[in-house]
Amino acid sequence: MSPLPSRNRQLALRRAGFRSVPEMLDYAARGETGVTFYSARGEALSDLPWKDVRERAHIVARKLIGAGFARGERLLITADTWPGFFDAFFGAQYAGLLPVPVSIPVGIGGKDAYLDQLRRQFAASGAVAAVGIDDLAGFLADAAAEFPAVRLHGGMDVLEALPEKPVELRPLQPDELCYIQFSSGSTRHPHGVQITQAALMANLAGMVGPAGLDIVQGDRAASWLPLYHDMGLIGFTLAPLSAQLSIDYLTPRDFARRPMQWLNIIARNKATVSYSPSFGYDLAVRRGAAQVPADLDLSCWRHAGIGGDMVRAGVLERFAETFEANGFDRSAFIPSYGMAEVCLAITFSKGGTGVRTDTVDRVVLSEAQRAQPAPDPDDPLHARRFVICGRVLPGHELEVRDDAGRLLSDRAVGRIFVKGPSVMPGYFGEPEASREVLSPDGWLDTGDLGYLLDGEIVVTGRAKDLIIVNGRNVWPQDIEWALEARRIVKSGDSAAFSVDTGEGERVVVAVLARVAGEEGRASLARDVAGAVREAVVVDCEVVLVPPTVGLPMTSSGKLSRSRTRANYLAGHYQPKPAAA
Amino acid sequence: MVLSIAHNVIVENDDAPLSYRRQPTRGEVISEICTQLDAFRSDDAQVIRGATVISKDLNIDSLAVMDMIMELEDRFDVSIPMNAVAEIHTVDELADTILKLTARR
pLDDT tens-place string over residues A481-507: 889 878 888 878 899 999 888 777 899
Q: Taking 70 as the threshold, does the pLDDT of residue A398 lie above it?
A: yes
Kindly report the length of chain A.
Answer: 580
Tens-place pLDDT, residues A82-120? 999 999 999 999 999 999 999 998 778 889 989 999 999
* Percentage of residues in chain A having pLDDT higher than 90: 71
Cβ neighbors of A106 (< 8 A, separation 6 or more) are A253, A537, B62
Q: Tell me the three state secondary structure of residue A500.
A: strand
| Statement: residue A574 has pLDDT above 80 | no
Handedness of CA A438, A443, A444, A447 (dihedral sign): negative
Nearest in space to A257 (alpha carbons), one of A41, A38, A503, A533: A41
Best mutation target, B7, B8, B68, to test chain A (most A CBs within 10 A): B8
Report the pLDDT averaged over residues A138-149: 97
pLDDT classification of A187: cutoffs 50, 70, 90:
low
Q: Helices A50-66 and A83-95: crossing angle, nearest 10°?
A: 60
Q: Give the model's pLDDT for residue B7.
A: 41
Q: Tell me the pLDDT tens digit for each residue of B8-56.
A: 333 344 444 545 667 899 999 999 999 999 988 877 788 999 999 998 8
B30 versus A288: the higher-pLDDT residue is B30
- Residue A390: is its pLDDT beyond 50? yes
CB atoms within 10 A of CB A373: 12
Q: Is A519 exposed, middle or buried (0-12, 13-18, 19+ CB in 10 A)?
A: exposed
Q: Quote the pLDDT of residue A558.
A: 66
Of A120-129, A228-237, A336-345, A459-468, which range is least confident? Answer: A459-468
Give mean pLDDT, residues A136-164: 97
Indicate the pLDDT class of residue B1, thresholds 50, 70 and 90: very low
Instruction: Note the pLDDT tens digit of each residue in A190-210.
Output: 889 999 999 999 999 999 999
Residues B5, A46: C-beta atoms closer than 8 Å: yes
Report whether pLDDT(A559) > 60: yes
pLDDT (mean) for A26-44: 96
Q: Which residues of B touch A533 (CB under 8 A)?
A: 55-56, 61-62
pLDDT of residue A253: 87
Nearest Cα residue to A151 out of A171, A130, A172, A132: A130
Give the burial class of B104: count Cβ atoms within 10 A of its Cβ; 0-12 exposed, 13-18 middle, 19 or more buried. exposed
Task: Give the pLDDT score at B12.
Answer: 41
Which stretch of A19-33, A257-271, B16-30 has the lowest confidence by average pLDDT?
B16-30
Please state the rounded mean pLDDT for residues B71-97: 93
Q: How much of chain B, in percent, has pLDDT values that exceed 70?
A: 80
A47 touches chain B (CB under 8 A): no
Contact residues, A window 217-276, toward B, CB-based 8 Å cutoff? 253, 256-257
* CA-based R_g, chain B, Å: 15
Residue A457 makes CB contacts below 8 A (sequence gap 6+) with A337, A346, A347, A388, A389, A390, A391, A392, A398, A400, A416, A450, A451
DSSP string, A417-471: EEESTTS-S-BTT-HHHHHHHB-TTS-EEEEEEEEEETTEEEEEEESS--EEETT
Instruction: Name the residue among A212, A214, A234 with its Cα closest to residue A225.
Output: A234
Band (A424; pLDDT cuts 50, 70, 90):
very high
- Per the CATH hierarchy, to which homologous superfamily does domain A277-286+296-463 belong? ANL, N-terminal domain (3.40.50.12780)
Question: Would the pLDDT of A279 be above 80?
Answer: yes
As a whole number of angstroms, the distance between CA A200 and CA A421 comes to: 9
Which residue type, as a one-letter code, is found at position A543? V
What are the tens digits of pLDDT across the range A323-341?
Answer: 999 999 999 999 999 999 9
Q: How many CB atoms lie within 10 A of CB A522?
A: 18
Question: With bands split at pLDDT 50, 70 and 90, how would you rate the model's confidence at A55?
Answer: very high
C-alpha B14 chain-centroid distance: 17
d(CA B58, CA B48): 9
Counting Cβ atoms within 10 Å, is residue A161 exposed (0-12), middle (13-18) or buried (19+)?
Answer: exposed
Helix (H) or strand (E) holding A65: helix A50-66
- Given A46, A139, A533, which is nearest B62 (Cβ)? A533
Euclidean distance between the first and the last CA atom of chain B, given in angstroms as a whole number? 28
Domain map (residue ranges) of chain B: 24-104
Q: Which residues in A lie closer than 8 A to residue B65 (C-beta atoms)? A: 107-108
DSSP state of B77: T
Give the DSSP H or E segment for A267: helix A260-269
In this model, does residue A399 exceed pLDDT 90? Answer: yes
Sign of CA dihedral A53, A103, B53, A284: positive
Query: Are A107 and B66 an interchain contact pair (Cβ–Cβ within 8 Å)?
Result: yes
User: In sequence order, what are the residues at sequence separation of 6 or more whose Cβ sits closer than 8 angstroms to the Cβ of residue A65?
Assistant: A95, A96, A165, A167, A168, A169, A170
Question: Which of A125-134, A230-239, B60-69 is predicted least confidently?
Answer: B60-69
CA atoms within 13 A on the CB side of A129: 24
Closest partner residue to A136 among B53, B62, B83, by Cβ? Answer: B83
Give the residue extent of every domain in chain A: 21-269, 277-286+296-463, 467-569
The reply to whether A277-286+296-463 and A467-569 are identical in fold is no
Question: Cβ–Cβ of B88/A135 closer than 8 Å?
Answer: no
Percent of chain A with pLDDT over 70: 96
A244, amino acid identity:
Q
- Average confidence (pLDDT) over A39-63: 96
What pLDDT is recorded for position B4? 39
pLDDT of residue A575: 57
- How distant is the Cα of A553 from the closest Cα of chain B, in angstroms? 29
Q: Average the pLDDT over A441-470 and give the result.
A: 88
| Highest-pLDDT range among A113-117, A364-368, A459-463, B8-12 | A113-117
Q: ipTM, 2 decimals?
A: 0.79
Q: pLDDT class for A185, splitting at 50, 70, 90?
A: low
8 Å CB contact between A119 and A112: no
* Separation of alpha carbons A377 and A360, rounded Å: 7
Q: Residue A299: what residue type?
A: S
Cβ-contact A172, A21 below 8 angstroms: yes
The amino acid at A304: A
What's the CATH class of domain A467-569? alpha beta
Cβ separation B8–A135 shorter than 8 A: yes
Interface of B with A (CB under 8 A): 1-10, 12, 42-43, 53-57, 59, 61-63, 65-67, 69-70, 81-89, 94
Q: What's the mean pLDDT when you consider all of chain B?
A: 80
Arithmetic mean of pLDDT, A236-250: 98
Domain B24-104 sits in which CATH superfamily?
A: ACP-like (1.10.1200.10)
pLDDT value for A382? 79
Cβ-proximal residues to B78 (8 Å cutoff; 6+ apart), any chain: B11, B98, B101, B102, B105
Burial of residue B92 (number of CB atoms within 10 Å: 0-12, 13-18, 19+): middle
Confidence of residue A473 (pLDDT cuts 50, 70, 90): low
Query: What is the per-residue pLDDT for A555?
Result: 53
Residue predicted with more confidence, A479 or A216: A216
According to CATH, the topology of domain A21-269 is Rossmann fold (3.40.50)
